[in-house]
Chains A and B, each alone.
Chain A
Amino acid sequence: MSINRRQFLKIAGASTVLGLGGASVVNSLKRGGLEASQMSPDPKGLVAKRWGFVVDVSKLESEEDYKRCADACHNIHNVPVFKNDKLHEVKWIWKEPFENTFPGTEHEYMSHEFKEKNFLVFCNHCAKPACVKVCPTKATFKRKDGIVMQDMHRCIGCRFCMAACPFGARSFNYLDPRGKDTDGTPLIKVENKTFPTRMIGVVEKCTACYERLSIGQQPACAEVSNGAIVFGDLEDPNSEVRKIIATKYTIRRKPELGTQPSIYYVIGGSEHA
């Protein structure tokens, strides 16, 4: 059988219409129940143009103070704690000495106290995040409010983001986080039943407590930090973070790399500097 061009176009046109019509009928049947439905943010949630942090470690005096912040985060987010097996460690927030926090800025005349001071470091929620650029699955992505989010459902564990992040803010689950430490104790001592764990083979990091912000709570680390960690909207000139940045001398980690971190560290300076 042979058909001419006109017949061919007629048939093609008719089958396209039929095909499209058919698909829409099937779709509306299938999703019938969802039509009138929708999703929306919780009105209690905190909103901002660009979330950021100010960290003032002069307010952290003892070892306990650092630990309280890190434990608050790791406990509520079911982060496995490797006491012995440091090679496989997973961490969202931890302390780091000056020379590792701000490499290249230490010098021989710096006060001993400053050199020895520990800083609290976690994901910087960079404005130009290197991790997001390299992620092949968009598992890590930037939200409209500036949070660099991690979608554990999509992460394939390629670890490109870990290679790209200049701050070591990301950890890979080499082992099952629900497993046991080398001494036989569970890695997650007490599960927070309202939050998931992760599984072997995915990358995790600080998510700026997106789950707490969405119901109107402050990040857990900020809440227990006695004012050492302040959280707020960097784009709002009246926010507390902006007020501190305006009155005190603050620096960011590795600004020369151009990722534009959203954590500002208070370095000395008085209230009226």
Chain B
Amino acid sequence: MYNSGKIIAGLVVFLAFFAFPFYYNLGKANARPEPKLNTPVIQQLAEKKCVESRDFMRSEHMQLLNDWRDSVVRDGNRIYVNAEGKKHTISLQNTCMNCHSNKKEFCDSCHNYMAVKPYCWSCHIQPKEDKS
């Protein structure tokens, strides 16, 4: 084989370079997001429960919010009846953020981790938070 030394050396350098992100992060625990639920309003709740179950909200809140948006804006339906038959007013600013007034520690903690940038806040006013 011609130039085998150079080729192998080149491959080693290439692999070392290519795999850099993997061994750079090796052994570093990437702290999983811990969205905080300790807002004053949530602490006051008798039953600490969102509009649907925690698992459902975790995986489906984006779909639920899309459905809510269309329901209010397109059909004028503002009351949401959940799986248990409980009624909630459909409103991101006035219902969701009333409990989750800690957007930075709640919404942002996962969204930043997942590198998603929902554009809700270009128009919807986020709660004022003391801590930056």
Contact = CB atoms under 8 A, between A and B. Distances in A.
B53 A33 contact: yes
A256 to B, nearest CB: 32
B95 to A, nearest CB: 11
A197 B78 contact: no
B9 interface: no
Contact of A149 (B68, B73, B93, B125): B73
Interface residues of A, number: 33
Interface SS, A side: loop
A34 B74 CA distance: 19
Interface string A144-176: 010001011100000000000000000000000
Contacts of B125: 78, 191, 193, 195-197
Interface stretch (B23-31, B36-44, B80-88, B108-116): B80-88
A151 B75 CA distance: 11
A210 B76 contact: yes
Contacts of A41: 76-79
A39 B83 contact: no
Given A36-B83, A37-B81, A42-B79, A194 B56 contact: no
Contact of A153 (B63, B69, B82): B69
A30 interface: yes
A45 B78 CA distance: 10
Interface string B45-61: 00000001100100010
B90 A196 contact: no
A67 interface: no
B81 A40 contact: yes
Contacts of B82: 37
Contacts of A194: 93-94
Interface residues of B, number: 30
B89 to A, nearest CB: 8
Contacts of A153: 69, 73
B77 to A, nearest CB: 4
Contacts of B60: 30-31, 33-34
A33 B79 contact: no
B78 A34 contact: no
B52 A33 contact: yes
A51 to B, nearest CB: 12
B124 interface: yes
Contacts of B71: 39
Given A33-B53, A151-B73, A199-B122, A39 B79 contact: yes
B123 interface: yes
A199 B83 contact: no
Nearest to B84: A36
B52 A38 contact: no
Which 10 A-B pairs have CB atoms at the shortest separation, nearest pair first?
A33-B56, A39-B77, A199-B122, A39-B71, A196-B123, A196-B124, A151-B73, A42-B78, A40-B79, A36-B83
15 contacts: A31-B63, A33-B60, A37-B80, A37-B82, A37-B83, A39-B77, A40-B79, A41-B78, A42-B78, A143-B76, A145-B76, A195-B93, A198-B123, A199-B123, A215-B78
Interface of B: 52-53, 56, 60, 63-64, 67-69, 71, 73-83, 85, 89-90, 93-94, 122-125
